Amino acid sequence: MKIVRISVGQFTDAQFAEGYLHMSPARREKCDRYRREIDRKCCIAADMAVRNALSARFGVSPAEINIRVTPEGKPYAPDFPVRFSYAHCEGEIVLALGEREVGADIERVRPVSPRITRYFCCDSDLVYVFGAPAAPETDPIEDPEVLSRLFEVWTFKEALGKAWGTGLTKETKYAPFNDYPKYLAREGDFALCAYECEENA
Amino acid sequence: MLERIRNIICEFVDIDPEEITLETNIRKDLGLNSLELVNLAVEIEEEFDVEIPDREAMGLETVEDAIRIIEEYME
């Protein structure tokens, strides 16, 4: 699995303009719906990152790469034997490429309510994050070490859901964080995770 | 109820509340990511004193969906 990290600050307005033109109509439509300019730029930058990675690996022009989206919203390049997933958060983008289904997520670590753990943490995940099989009453969570672990689990569950093509579900909630090999990283305020399935569905 | 939901949504995105309609897609139109969506579900539960099933919360698309879910689980 290959991980690519980029930031919107790496690109010029001219590059964004060109990258936008290379996007498929469906991708441009999604891009145009973003309210915030930084999200729009992230969308274009992620698309450019995929094209550049495939171009470098397979020797084709970025503009010639056909990127489609499944009905569930998962992007793919039907003409190339590679799977990919990307995520963006506040100008930061992570792209994962692999031979099997992959998922990637990036999120800015920040205080959150412990109540959100209900949506993505099983008991063993809670033990990993909080040291007990239940979230604390303290709201919001502000302990830096607890937040760091919580966002490890969150980005993993997001990446897992993307790799499986399901998004966050009961199945991803009950997939124990510690049972799966994955790539985890912390870069300043950002936590990121990438996961590659052990075999294709 | 729409007014209360608008106020909650405005905690997550810088938008004029009047721009939020029943048809507003919370993900696609407002740009909320999954973590923000989960936080929104938690805030809605707190505001309306309801418990939204995980499946419903993650499937939240429009403001109209949110109202339907709240009304369903308030009963």
Q: What is the pLDDT of residues A35-75, one digit of tens each?
A: 888 989 999 999 999 999 999 999 999 999 999 888 877 88
pTM over 0.95: no
Query: One digit per residue, pLDDT tens: chain A, 201 residues?
Result: 999 999 999 999 999 999 999 999 888 988 898 888 898 999 999 999 999 999 999 999 999 999 988 887 788 999 999 999 999 999 999 999 999 999 999 999 999 999 999 999 999 999 999 999 999 988 899 999 999 999 999 999 999 999 998 888 889 999 999 999 999 999 999 999 999 999 765
- Answer yes or no: do A6 and A94 share one domain: yes
- Answer yes or no: do A8 and A76 share one domain: yes
Sign of the four-CA dihedral B63, B56, A125, A117: positive
Does the beta-carbon distance from B35 to A39 stay under 8 Å?
no
Choose the final residue of a domain: A62, A78, A99.
A99
User: What ipTM goes with this model?
Assistant: 0.84
- Answer yes or no: do A11 and A94 share one domain: yes
Does the beta-carbon distance from B35 to A154 stay under 8 Å?
yes
Residue B64 belongs to what domain range?
2-74
- Answer yes or no: do A139 and A112 share one domain: yes
Q: Closest chain B residue to A112 measured between Cα atoms? A: B39
Residues in chain B closer than 8 A to A36 (CB atoms): 31
Give one DSSP letter per residue of A114-173, joined into a string.
GGGGGGT--HHHHHHHHSSSS--S-SSB--HHHHHHHHHHHHHHHHHHHHHTS-S-HHHH
3-state secondary structure of B28: coil
Residue A168 belongs to what domain range?
106-196
- Answer yes or no: do A112 and A92 share one domain: no
Whichever domain contains B55, its CATH number is 1.10.1200.10
CB atoms within 10 A of CB A32: 10
- Answer yes or no: do A42 and A122 share one domain: no
- Answer yes or no: do A89 and A120 share one domain: no
Query: One digit per residue, pLDDT tens: chain B, 75 residues?
Result: 889 999 998 888 888 888 899 999 888 788 788 898 899 989 999 899 988 888 787 778 899 998 998 888 886
Q: Closest chain A residue to B39 measured between Cα atoms? A: A116
Tally the domains of chain B.
Answer: 1
* Residue A201 forms part of a structural domain: no
- Answer yes or no: do A155 and A92 share one domain: no
Does the beta-carbon distance from A35 to B31 stay under 8 Å?
yes
- Answer yes or no: do A14 and A80 share one domain: yes
- Is B21 touching A (CB cutoff 8 A)? no
Sign of the four-CA dihedral A115, A116, A121, A126: negative
- Is B45 touching A (CB cutoff 8 A)? yes
pLDDT at A201 (0 to 100):
52
Residues in chain A closer than 8 A to B39 (CB atoms): 112-113, 116
Instruction: Select from B29, B39, B58 the Cβ nearest to the Cβ of A33.
Output: B29
Choose the final residue of a domain: A99, A122, A150.
A99
User: Amino acid identity, residue B49?
Assistant: D
Does the beta-carbon distance from A30 to B28 stay under 8 Å?
yes
Residues in chain A closer than 8 A to B55 (CB atoms): 169-170
Closest C-alpha among B9, B34, B31 to residue A151: B34
Residue B74 CA to residue B49 CA, distance in Å, equals 8
Whichever domain contains A72, its CATH number is 3.90.470.20
Tally the domains of chain A.
Answer: 2
- Answer yes or no: do A51 and A122 share one domain: no
* Residue A72 forms part of a structural domain: yes
Query: Residue A183 burial by CB count (10 A; 0-12/13-18/19+): exposed, middle or buried?
Result: middle
Instruction: Select from A89, A113, A167 the Cβ nearest to the Cβ of B39.
Output: A113
